Structure 1
Amino acid sequence: MPLRRRKQWWGVTLDAPDGAALGRFYARLLDWQFFSSGDGRGGAVAPSENAGYNLGFQTEENYVRPVWPAEPGQPQMSMHLEIEVDDLDEAVAHAVEAGAALAAFQPQDDVRVMLDPAGHPFCLYLGESDESEQADVA
């Protein structure tokens, strides 16, 4: 894969019933490039070929969709992604248009828990505005 040309490289890989389809979802969501694994079973997304980091996706034949929030005896998420956004409503609309679903349970006012097409939770949260960042510097 072209993403491994740099000496410093890191990534996280998510399993899914269709790794390539989930990768294409995250490419739309993040406006990143999708790099196929070549076998049609997965791939990775990154902002560029030489970014040095990515999100990977692989097909897992025995994948079981996690339940969120967790319930006893049900498959649980093992991690979730955090994505900072400027406008929460706009980001939620974009995520839904890309193929995500808004989770039924929302524990915080300034965070939206979303579910990707394979059921992995990810959070959209409000970042600090430029004004508050400038005030912190002053």
Structure 2
Amino acid sequence: MSSSARLSTVVLDAHDAHELAAFYQRLLGYVMRAEEPHWVLIGPPPGTGGTSLAFQTEPAYVPPVWPGREPGEQQMMLHLDIQVDDLEAETARAVALGARSAEYQPQDDVRVLHDPSGHPFCLWVETPS
């Protein structure tokens, strides 16, 4: 059975949708696709393919905790994996753009960071197996 369903967009809540969209626009080189007062859509430049990201302002937003420590804390629901060519350089660039490094780093070929709204995301580099 075939399906016409396809993933087009991942939506992240934030205290400020525009601020978080601007961070990911700079990090990924994405372009603005649409915006409203409390919602923003960004995506890859035309002709390059990829998944779009949308951001919605949620006044009651609570940043996730990663790794989870205590029962009842807001847990990470998902995270973005972003492949890079130079892990150290891209980590430094992400931090300069407003990300912060997570205390726990589980792998040598991955850097876990938190975006300005506290969502964890990973920068990773392909390593020979």
- The residue number in structure 2 matching 1:63 is 61
Determine what percentage of the aligned residue pairs are the same residue. 46
When residues 120 and 35 of structure 1 are mapped into structure 2, their CA distance, relative to the original with a 3 A threshold, is same
Q: Which stretches of structure 1, 4 residues or more, deviate above 4 A after TM superposition?
A: 49-52
Say whether the 8 Å CA contact 1:23–1:42 is kept in structure 2.
no
Alignment of 1:2-17 (within 5 A): 10-17=8-15
Size of the alignment, in residue pairs? 123
RMSD: 2.1
Q: Aligned pair 1:18/2:2, yes or no?
A: no
Residue 49 of structure 1 and its aligned partner are, at CA, apart by 5.2
When residues 78 and 9 of structure 1 are mapped into structure 2, their CA distance, relative to the original with a 3 A threshold, is closer
Which amino acid counterpart does residue 32 of structure 1 have in structure 2?
Y
Larger helix percent: 1
Say whether the 8 Å CA contact 1:103–1:113 is kept in structure 2.
yes
Say whether the 8 Å CA contact 1:102–1:114 is kept in structure 2.
yes
Q: Which runs of 5+ in 2 are unaligned?
A: 1-5
Q: Deviations over 1:67-96 (max 9, x none)?
A: 111122211110000011111100101111
Q: Which runs of 5+ in 1 are unaligned?
A: 1-7, 133-138
Say whether the 8 Å CA contact 1:9–1:52 is kept in structure 2.
no
When residues 10 and 90 of structure 1 are mapped into structure 2, their CA distance, relative to the original with a 3 A threshold, is same
Q: Using structure 2 for the length normalisation, give the TM-score.
A: 0.85
Q: Distance in 1 between matches of 2:7 and 2:73?
A: 34
